[in-house]
């Protein structure tokens, strides 16, 4: 364990961690981590929890056993509050109005410090005819780059670079271009004998296509059924694998059966939804600070640990019991233990 000691912020185990706190989250009224924990609990939960629960939550955050999402840490105690970490945006229709509306939504969300995620599959491919004007469509990739550029120019909440997610269905007419949209190694830079990848290695902030954006290909039921029927992988998936191995992108977004419409993702992709009213508010349990799972239980809740399970008791009705695929004959009032001993 690190021997780093801080008189101002005792919980921090490294100067690097303390520097992040000082740079991103410290502000008047929250000069130390324990002050921030107190301000956060009071600000967010002060009217929702009993004072004993407020104190318990404060202790857990103060001791860094649970760390709320960054937007909670940033906005706690500030006059204007935007606690959502990430927003799911939906391209509703392939129209000029929707293009403009999506840009406005993206900029509004990014300026609060929240990340954004959007699926662009509804937009027609590049070159498709536009009946109203007689022109041709630009396709979804230029729109992704427009949002990417907004992210480059907007420092999220004044404190961090933008977090953006973009996806496209595997059958889309522009999928081949999407697969190589971040293949910077094959993008020469004019006036040099270097690729965009080479330039980015020397200067991380040098502009590049979709460099603020994580991208993924959406695979649906039709793709899955085709795989089972052909007993072979299609060319899109194979190229996806190849590019992911070379450049780490695009990623893979599998949306099957009752989840087929859940193509929206937050920037870190933990949250999936078909509804753009969903947001990401995830925090982190810091297992490095938790010696025993019982520390995280609400007072009055008994936790019994055996070789495989943690058993929870203390008032949960039969309707709220989780079922993790346990056979009907087994006790369903059991969940897998985090650190069963």
Query: pLDDT tens across 66-106, in order?
Result: 999 999 999 998 988 888 889 999 998 999 899 999 999 99
- CB-based burial label for 162 (10 Å; 0-12, 13-18, 19+): buried
Residues of the chain with pLDDT under 70: 1-3, 7, 155-160, 298-341
Q: Looking at residue 281, what is its pLDDT?
A: 87
CA nearest 272: which of 251, 289, 295, 288? Answer: 251
Upper half-sphere CA count for residue 89 (Cβ side, 13 Å): 28
Q: Peptide bond before 250: cis, by omega within 30 degrees of 0? A: yes
Q: Write out pLDDT tens, residues 95-116.
A: 989 999 999 999 999 988 889 9
Top-tier CATH class for 86-280: alpha beta
| CA 20 – CA 157 distance, rounded (Å) | 15
| CA 331 – CA 135 distance, rounded (Å) | 64
Residue that is written with structure tokens 């002050």 in the block:
35
Are the CB atoms for 73 and 36 separated by under 8 Å?
yes
Q: Looking at residue 244, what is its pLDDT?
A: 96
CA nearest 274: which of 147, 170, 162, 121? Answer: 121
Q: Looking at residue 325, what is its pLDDT?
A: 40
| CA 23 – CA 12 distance, rounded (Å) | 14
pTM for the whole thing? 0.78
Partners of 169 in the beta sheet? 218
Upper half-sphere CA count for residue 72 (Cβ side, 13 Å): 19
Q: Write out pLDDT tens, residues 287-332.
A: 888 888 777 776 666 555 554 444 444 434 444 333 334 344 444 3
Mean pLDDT of the residues in the chain: 84
Q: Looking at residue 276, what is its pLDDT?
A: 80
3-state secondary structure string, 168-206? EECCCCCHHHHHCCCCHHHCECCCCCCEHHHHHHHCCCC
Enumerate the CATH 3.20.70.20 domain ranges in the chain, comma separated: 86-280
Q: Looking at residue 241, what is its pLDDT?
A: 97
Q: Looking at residue 155, what is its pLDDT?
A: 63
**pLDDT above 90 as % of the chain:** 51
Query: Radius of gyration of the chain from Cα atoms?
Result: 24
Four-CA torsion 159, 163, 164, 170, nearest 10 degrees: 170
Cβ-based neighbour number of residue 160 at 10 Å: 15
């Amino acid at each position: 364990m690190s021997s780093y000691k801080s008189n101002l912020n005792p919980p921090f185990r490294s100067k690097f961690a303390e520097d992040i706190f000082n740079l991103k989250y410290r502000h008047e009224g929250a000069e130390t981590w324990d002050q921030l924990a107190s301000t956060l609990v009071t600000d967010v939960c002060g009217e929702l929890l009993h004072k004993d629960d407020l104190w318990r939550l404060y202790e857990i955050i103060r001791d860094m056993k649970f760390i709320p999402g960054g937007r909670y840490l940033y906005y706690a105690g500030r006059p204007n509050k935007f606690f959502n970490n990430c927003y799911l945006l939906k391209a509703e229709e392939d129209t000029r109005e929707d293009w403009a509306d999506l840009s406005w939504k993206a900029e509004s969300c990014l300026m609060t410090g929240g990340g954004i995620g959007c699926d662009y599959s509804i937009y027609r491919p590049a070159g498709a005819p536009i009946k109203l004007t007689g022109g041709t469509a630009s396709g979804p990739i230029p729109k992704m780059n427009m949002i990417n550029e907004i992210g480059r120019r907007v420092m999220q909440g004044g404190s961090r670079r933008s977090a953006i997610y973009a996806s496209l269905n595997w059958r889309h007419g522009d999928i081949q271009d999407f697969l190589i949209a971040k293949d910077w190694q094959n993008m020469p830079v004019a006036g040099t004998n270097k690729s965009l990848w080479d330039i980015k290695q020397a200067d991380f902030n040098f502009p590049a296509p979709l460099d603020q954006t994580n991208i993924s290909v959406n695979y649906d039921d039709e793709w899955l059924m085709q795989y089972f029927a052909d007993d072979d992988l299609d060319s899109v998936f194979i190229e996806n694998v190849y590019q992911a191995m070379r450049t780490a992108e695009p990623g893979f977004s599998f949306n099957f059966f009752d989840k087929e419409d859940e193509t929206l993702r937050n920037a870190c992709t933990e949250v999936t939804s078909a509804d753009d009213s969903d947001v990401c508010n995830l925090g982190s349990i810091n297992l490095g600070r938790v010696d025993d799972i019982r520390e995280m239980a609400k007072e009055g809740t008994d936790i019994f640990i055996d070789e495989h399970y943690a058993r929870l008791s203390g008032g949960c009705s039969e309707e709220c019991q989780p079922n993790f695929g346990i056979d009907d004959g087994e006790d369903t009032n059991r969940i897998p233990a985090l650190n069963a001993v």
